[in-house]
Every structure is written in structure tokens, then in C-alpha cells.
Chain A
Amino acid sequence: EAQVTQNPRYLITVTGKKLTVTCSQNMNHEYMSWYRQDPGLGLRQIYYSMNVEVTDKGDVPEGYKVSRKEKRNFPLILESPSPNQTSLYFCASSPSLGQGARDIQYFGAGTRLSVL
């Protein structure tokens, strides 16, 4: 089954304790992206990757890191989490972007993170 898998689904942590949220897709997609969803703000892009070893900042990259060593995986790293990073996070993948019909993004089920 084609899917984007995020882990964990729920995470409670404390300020300053490094954490990683994993994302994996089995569709051989080139493009992957991380978003955060906050009430009244919709989805905002954190980082994206056009292909292996190619990553770039989205709209709200501060406090986050990513890597793309393999095509299928795109982990999100919070080196020193703070309470303002409490949010619902989504990973997404796409065959490509900017090519009309190939623009469709497939989303993971989400990771709800609370930073105390």
C-alpha cells in the first residue's frame, strides 16, 4: 500500500531534550516536505527536499533541522525543543512539484508534539 509513515504519532517531551520525528514514504517520490499545523494559521512549511541531499528552508525553519540521505526518509530534528514548537506536524511527499498533475502531495497521519 502506498503511504507516508510518520513516527511517533504522539510525543510529550520537555524543553531542551533533543528529539527526532521520522518520516518514510514507499512511493519513490522525489519531493518531501514537513509542515506544522496550528489553529488559525493553517499549514506552514518548515523544510522541504527536492531530492536526495537537497534540502531547503520553508516558511518557518527556525529551531528545526532535516536531512535527506535516502530517497524514502526525511526525518525532522528538534535539537532543543521549546514550548512554542508544540504543534501538529505533517510529513508529505510528491512525485514532483511545479508540474501540474504531478503536484499532488500525500500526507502522513501526523505527529502531535507537546513540549513542556
Chain B
Amino acid sequence: GNSVTQMEGPVTLSEEAFLTINCTYTATGYPSLFWYVQYPGEGLQLLLKATKADDKGSNKGFEATYRKETTSFHLEKGSVQVSDSAVYFCALTGNEKLTFGTGTRLTIIP
């Protein structure tokens, strides 16, 4: 079946640091890939997506590129802010469902 493996957390960074959260996947066919973000006390919301190989999703300074050859969709941001503190989930669609990774808690220190 489909599965998503993402970087274990928690991750703590200083403000303006560079962020990478790794995500790799196993899937049949050509899934769409997503990053969702969960701010404290809220539900998940879509951060960015990519629907085919070599697509780059971007939003709010975050980027991720759909790499079919390495089955990866790593999340990056050049300069993080305190407001980016949240839990980040990598996910993919396939077999009529959305499969999530376990989530990575990110804390940004001023």
C-alpha cells in the first residue's frame, strides 16, 4: 500500500534559519503530493501541493519539488519566522484516500 515517511521531530530552529523537512513516499501510479500545516489548536490546512513529477509547489515562502526518481517531496524555507511554528504533515493521494506522514513539530525561537 501507499506510505509516507517524514523526518522525525521535534525540530527547533532560530528565527531566520534555513528549514528542511524531509519526506519520502511509496506509492503505485502517479499520486499527488501535499504538505499540510496544523497551527496550535486548529485543523489542518493545505500549505502547498504538486500533482506531477518535477512540479514545484510553493506558498508563504515554503517550497517543495515532486521528485519521482528519489520518491521525495522535501519541504524547504529559506528564512523561518516565529509564526511558522506548527506541525507539518506530508501526504499523498491514492486508492481513494489521503495518506499522511506522522507529522513534524517545528518550533522557531526568536
From A11-19, A36-44, A66-74, A79-87, give the one contacting chain B. A36-44
Within 8 A of B (CB), among A77-111: 90, 92, 97-98, 100-101, 103-105, 107-110
Q: Are A33 and B102 in contact (CB under 8 A)?
A: no
Q: Are A41 and B97 in contact (CB under 8 A)?
A: no
Please give, as numbers and ranges, the residues of chain B lying within 8 Å of A42 by CB-CB distance.
89, 100-103
Q: Are A100 and B96 in contact (CB under 8 A)?
A: no
From A4, A97, A108, A110, give the contact of B98 (CB < 8 A): A97
- B-side binding surface: helix, strand, loop or mixed? strand
Closest to B95 in A: A98
The smallest beta-carbon distance between A19 and chain B, in angstroms, is 20
B43 in the interface (beta carbon within 8 A): yes
Please give, as numbers and ranges, the residues of chain A lying within 8 Å of B100 by CB-CB distance.
35, 42-44
The number of inter-chain residue pairs (CB within 8 angstroms) is 61
Residue tally, chain A, CB below 8 Å to B: 26
A21 in the interface (beta carbon within 8 A): no
Within 8 A of A (CB), among B60-110: 89, 93-94, 96-98, 100-103
The smallest beta-carbon distance between B40 and chain A, in angstroms, is 11
Q: Are A109 and B42 in contact (CB under 8 A)?
A: yes
B17 in the interface (beta carbon within 8 A): no
